[in-house]
């Protein structure tokens, strides 16, 4: 047995926090899982939050965690589909409102508008006159 009754420990690092999954045994011999979140505090040191799950509650805990993960993944996919649909609908409605090309200025101030037939004809006429 390790320090403070630790039998097994896994550390998972994320962007700005670290999770510790500690399997421990108390003085009575009861085995439990301690999940600790640790992140740097605004001052010096770290903020730590822990959850303890006892051995006889681990399966229901894991089932609940699995259901939460499934919900999050399903919800993320549905949100992505809804966002894509919203963008496509917006583009479609913009296209129906105006047949004229949209005049968008680039960062350098140049127009990124595609030339219409009239503009390209004007350019051709000017070039012929210069010769």
List the CATH number of the domain containing 81: 3.10.450.700
Residue 129 or residue 26, greater confidence? 26
Q: Indicate if the pLDDT at residue 122 is higher than 90.
A: no
Residue 72: inside a domain, yes or no? yes
Say whether pTM exceeds 0.75: no
Indicate the number of domains in the chain: 1
What residues contact 22, with CB distance under 8 A and at least 6 apart?
6, 8, 9, 33, 34, 35, 36
CA separation (Å) from 34 to 45, 51, 94, 101? 21, 6, 54, 61
Residue 115: inside a domain, yes or no? no
Q: Indicate if the pLDDT at residue 1 is higher than 90.
A: no
Residue 112 or residue 61, greater confidence? 61
Residue 40: inside a domain, yes or no? yes
Residue 49 and residue 37 in contact, taking contact as beta carbons nearer than 8 Å: yes
Q: Indicate if the pLDDT at residue 126 is higher than 90.
A: no
Q: Please, which pLDDT band fits residue 93 given cuts at 50, 70 and 90? A: confident
Q: What is the pLDDT of residues 61-90, one digit of tens each?
A: 999 999 999 999 999 888 888 888 888 888
Q: What is the pLDDT of residue 55?
A: 95
Q: What is the pLDDT of residue 110?
A: 54
Burial 65-82 (b: 16+ CB within 10 A, else e): eeeeeeeeeeeeeeeeee
Could you tell me what percent of the chain has a pLDDT over 90?
Answer: 50
Residue 108: inside a domain, yes or no? no
Host domain of residue 12: 3-94
Q: Indicate if the pLDDT at residue 98 is higher than 90.
A: no
Residue 124: inside a domain, yes or no? no
Q: Please, which pLDDT band fits residue 131 given cuts at 50, 70 and 90? A: very low
Cα angle for residues 51, 63, 59 (degrees, 5° grid): 70
Residue 130: inside a domain, yes or no? no
Residue 103 and residue 119 in contact, taking contact as beta carbons nearer than 8 Å: no
Residue 118: inside a domain, yes or no? no
Closest CA to 23 of 34, 11, 39: 34
Residue 100: inside a domain, yes or no? no
How far is 30 from 118, CA to CA, in rounded Å? 85
């Amino acid at each position: 047995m390790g320090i403070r009754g630790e039998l097994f420990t896994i550390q998972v690092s994320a962007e700005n926090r670290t999770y510790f999954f500690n399997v421990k045994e108390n003085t009575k011999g009861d085995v439990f899982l301690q999940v600790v979140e640790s992140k740097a505090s605004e001052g010096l040191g770290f903020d730590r939050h822990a959850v303890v799950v006892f051995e006889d509650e681990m399966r229901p805990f894991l089932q609940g965690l699995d259901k939460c993960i499934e919900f999050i993944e399903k919800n993320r996919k549905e949100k992505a589909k809804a966002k894509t649909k919203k963008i496509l609908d917006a583009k479609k409605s913009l296209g129906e409102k105006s047949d004229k090309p949209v005049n968008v200025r680039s960062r350098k101030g140049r127009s990124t508008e595609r030339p219409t037939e009239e503009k390209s004809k004007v350019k051709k006429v000017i070039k012929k006159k210069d010769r």
